[in-house]
């Protein structure tokens, strides 16, 4: 159980680069199994979530090796062995759900462990079951596993998603990709990781129209067998962490490789709160598609918005970016209402910032009122069992004067690579303590 020791209250300076997306990486690692050939994924973050997926895929027979610092080479075997799955690793990540459509293309009957990951209330898998049954994939839930039967797969001429979720959209896309015929998916997520999956599959010869919209038309293939190389897109959620760190510490930093199309509304809300920044460069990502910018922040005096801040599917504020407005709101003059309607428990985790002196009132399991500005003070806190709530405690500790200790940081390391070193390069006084 590792910890971060942080001497907060220091201004940051320098340049930091946004890494590749965790959420895109984990789906593309599973999507590589749709290809009978060798897949090279570039720009893969070295994070604990990726490590768990590697352990799961290796256990069912996939050859995986790192090439250099950030390229991952995946070689599927002739026959996958789902019965040999690494159960301990599988239950630590919700990304194991991606195996449902992937294995359905290889096996008529198999089991997948029920997933773990962030504990954020009732995260039902029912939308996945409803989506995949339209392709002929039947899923029965037991106490520890999903029992899957996939005897006669068929395209879905009118797949209406039960909810516009990222993961369920990706599962429907992967189901359609290897079923000859036309599938139309409606109420699809248009979020960054879904777009990245679509561009990866088009590189493998799957015809997809409507990329970036809520209706996708997919012409599936009977077989994919080719060598392919693809560079994973940058992570807007990581950019948002550094934006929040700059806002709460009133710092001037440069954040490189920000996927601007998936940050525009967040930046507009911050701008209306008084946050000062400028775009200093525009260019494309290595995948040739994602629009990137370099941003430079400036010390800012913040004011609370009159309207509530809430998330919704893209193009709204990203559901994973919403928590970062909590530490930001502690430094804004006035009262901010943050409405986290998606998860039952996550708003409750926000109240952990009160241990740092934040003035937070929990209205109900989905809403918090934050009064500011507040002088934050150091304290010792144990990370909640969820990635983003843990991350915002770290952000707040950067602004809290004195020495803080953030314990059990596995939740953070699931999603961020070398965050301690990268914040340290900006002048944060932070170190990792092993215990």
Measured in residues, the chain has a length of 435
**Can you give the pLDDT at residue 123?**
53
**Can you give the pLDDT at residue 151?**
87
Short-list 353, 347, 332, CA closest to 404:
353
What is the CATH architecture assignment of 22-231?
Answer: Alpha-beta prism (3.65)
**Can you give the pLDDT at residue 191?**
97
- Return the residue matching tokens 């507040």: 374
Can you give the residue ranges of every domain in the chain? 3-19+234-433, 22-231
Q: What does the alpha-carbon distance between residue 63 and residue 58 come to, in Å, rounded to a whole number?
A: 6
**Can you give the pLDDT at residue 120?**
38
Find the largest Cα–Cα distance for the chain: 62
CATH assignment, 3-19+234-433: 3.65.10.10
In three-state secondary structure terms, 222 is coil
Q: What does the alpha-carbon distance between residue 17 and residue 235 come to, in Å, rounded to a whole number?
A: 10
* 280 touches 254 (CB < 8 A): yes
**Can you give the pLDDT at residue 119?**
46
The tokens of 372 are what?
Answer: 């500011």
Distance in angstroms between the alpha carbons of the first and the last residue of the chain: 6
The one-character DSSP state at 175 is H
- Are 3-19+234-433 and 22-231 the same fold in CATH? yes
**Can you give the pLDDT at residue 4?**
97
**Can you give the pLDDT at residue 342?**
86
pTM beyond 0.75: yes
Q: Which parts of 353-417 are beta strand (E)?
A: 359-364, 367-372, 380-382, 402-407
The one-character DSSP state at 377 is B
Angle (CA) 93-245-28 rounded to 5° is 30
- Give the alpha-carbon dihedral of 359, 363, 366, 369, to 10 degrees: -30
Instruction: Report, as ranges of residue numbers, the positions in the chain whose pLDDT lies below 50.
Output: 117-121
Beta bridge partners of 145: 113
* 155 touches 180 (CB < 8 A): yes
**Can you give the pLDDT at residue 144?**
84
What contacts 7, CB < 8 A, 6 or more positions away? Answer: 402, 403, 404, 429, 430
């Amino acid at each position: 159980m590792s910890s971060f020791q942080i001497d907060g209250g220091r201004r940051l300076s320098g340049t930091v680069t946004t890494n590749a997306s965790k959420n895109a990486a984990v789906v593309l690692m599973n999507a590589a199994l749709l290809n009978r050939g060798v897949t090279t994924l570039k720009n893969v973050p070295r994070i604990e979530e990726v490590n768990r997926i590697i352990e799961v895929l290796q256990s069912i027979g996939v050859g995986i090796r790192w090439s250099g610092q950030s390229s991952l080479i995946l070689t599927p075997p002739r026959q996958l062995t789902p019965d040999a799955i690494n159960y301990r690793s599988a239950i630590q990540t919700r990304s194991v759900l991606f195996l449902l459509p992937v294995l359905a293309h290889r096996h008529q009957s198999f089991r997948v462990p029920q997933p773990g990951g962030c504990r954020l209330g009732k995260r039902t898998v029912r939308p996945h079951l409803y989506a995949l049954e339209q392709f002929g994939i039947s899923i029965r839930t037991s106490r520890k596993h999903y029992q899957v039967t996939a005897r006669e797969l068929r395209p879905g001429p009118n797949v209406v998603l039960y909810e516009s979720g990222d993961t369920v959209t990706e599962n429907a896309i992967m189901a359609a990709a290897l079923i000859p015929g036309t599938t139309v998916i409606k109420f699809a997520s248009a979020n960054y990781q879904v777009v990245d999956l679509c561009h990866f599959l088009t590189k493998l010869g799957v015809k997809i129209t409507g990329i970036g919209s809520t209706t996708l038309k997919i012409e599936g293939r009977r077989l994919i067998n080719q060598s392919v190389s693809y560079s994973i897109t940058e992570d807007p959620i990581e950019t948002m962490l550094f934006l929040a760190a700059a806002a709460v510490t009133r710092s001037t930093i440069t954040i490189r490789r920000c996927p601007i199309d998936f940050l525009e509304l967040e930046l507009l809300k911050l701008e209306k709160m008084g946050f000062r920044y400028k775009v200093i460069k525009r260019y494309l990502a290595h995948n040739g598609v994602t629009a990137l910018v370099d941003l430079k922040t400036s010390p800012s005096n913040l004011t609370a918005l009159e309207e509530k801040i809430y998330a919704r599917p893209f193009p709204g504020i990203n559901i994973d970016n919403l928590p970062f407005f909590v530490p930001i709101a502690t430094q804004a003059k006035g009262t901010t209402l943050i409405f986290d309607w998606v998860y039952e428990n996550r708003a409750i985790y926000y109240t952990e910032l009160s241990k740092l002196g934040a003035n937070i009132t929990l209205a109900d399991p989905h809403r918090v009122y934050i009064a500011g500005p507040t002088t934050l003070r150091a304290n010792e806190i144990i990370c909640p069992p969820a990635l983003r709530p843990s991350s915002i405690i770290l952000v707040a500790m950067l602004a809290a004067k004195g020495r803080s200790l953030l314990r059990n940081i596995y939740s953070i390391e699931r999603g961020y690579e070398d965050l301690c070193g990268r914040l340290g390069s900006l002048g944060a006084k932070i170190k990792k303590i092993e215990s």
